[in-house]
Amino acid sequence: MCGRYGISVSRDELEIYLKETYQIELLDSNITLPRYNIAPGQSVISLINDGTRYRVGLLKWGFVPEWADDEKIGYKLINARRETLSEKPTFKKSFQTRRCVIIADGFFEWYRTTSTKTPYYFYLKDHRIFGFAGLWSTFSKPDGTKISTCTIITTKANAMMRDIHDRMPVILTEDTAKRWLDPTLRDIALLDELLGENAMDDIELHQVSSRVNKTENDDSDIIKPYED
């Protein structure tokens, strides 16, 4: 699974990345950076394509289907399994028509034994910004207020990741991310192929402090190598 991640760059660095990669000129004033310890239920920086251009904004992490009775279901749907996206009614519509890319530059996973949980930080070898493959949806509350939410897609762990966890997030290359965001692409088989083009082979990792376990800890020390 993927239950915690970060984006450690400044607003200026993200603006340059978005302009060069997606031709996005303006960044929402509500977006604050850096963020080292992003957790479910929080707002996350996400990309969509509206059919004319790429757009960046904030989505709430925790997928709430438009037909849900209670938005609290989102806390159970922070991840979506690649293998069942086209089968589950929860995700099927969004898989075809509401795909997003969630901006990050690292994520956390815990190696668990019967008595311990050891956190590790994963990042691309060149420390560049990347995108998780995601889905989004808009839910209307009883009072008419609308919230837009998202989930991060996961797949089976590769050889490097498998010793720590059996699942990993789908990290898209920039070219694959643009194809993933193409709203005209609705072929299930082709979409699944894109999810197989995972950039996780370029990932490195190191152990970090257990301070990451508390979401209120959100500083650069979170991602530094742990020294016992």
- Lowest pLDDT segment from 64-73, 98-107, 155-164: 155-164
Q: What is the pLDDT of residue 228?
A: 72
Assess if residue 203 is contained within a domain: yes
Give catalytic residues, as residue numbers: 2, 109
Q: How many domains are there within the chain? A: 1
We report the CATH number of the domain holding residue 116 as: 3.90.1680.10
- Pairwise pLDDT comparison (200 vs 220), residue with the higher score: 220
Assess if residue 70 is contained within a domain: yes
Query: What DSSP designation does 204 have?
Result: E
Q: What CA–CA distance (Å, rounded) separates 146 from 142? A: 9
Q: What is the pLDDT of residue 161?
A: 86
Q: How confident is the model at residue 217 (pLDDT cuts 50, 70, 90)?
A: very high
Assess if residue 219 is contained within a domain: no
Strand order in the sheet with 35-38: 35-38, 5-7, 106-112, 117-124, 203-207
Q: What is the pLDDT of residue 179?
A: 97
Q: What is the pLDDT of residue 198?
A: 76
Q: What percent of the chain has pLDDT over 90?
A: 83
Assess if residue 218 is contained within a domain: no
| pLDDT per residue as tens digits for the range 11-54 | 999 999 999 999 999 888 899 999 999 999 999 999 999 999 99
135 closest CA partner among 87, 194, 90:
90
Assess if residue 221 is contained within a domain: no
- Domain carrying residue 45: 5-212
Arithmetic mean of pLDDT over the chain: 94
Assess if residue 37 is contained within a domain: yes
Assess if residue 225 is contained within a domain: no
Assess if residue 42 is contained within a domain: yes
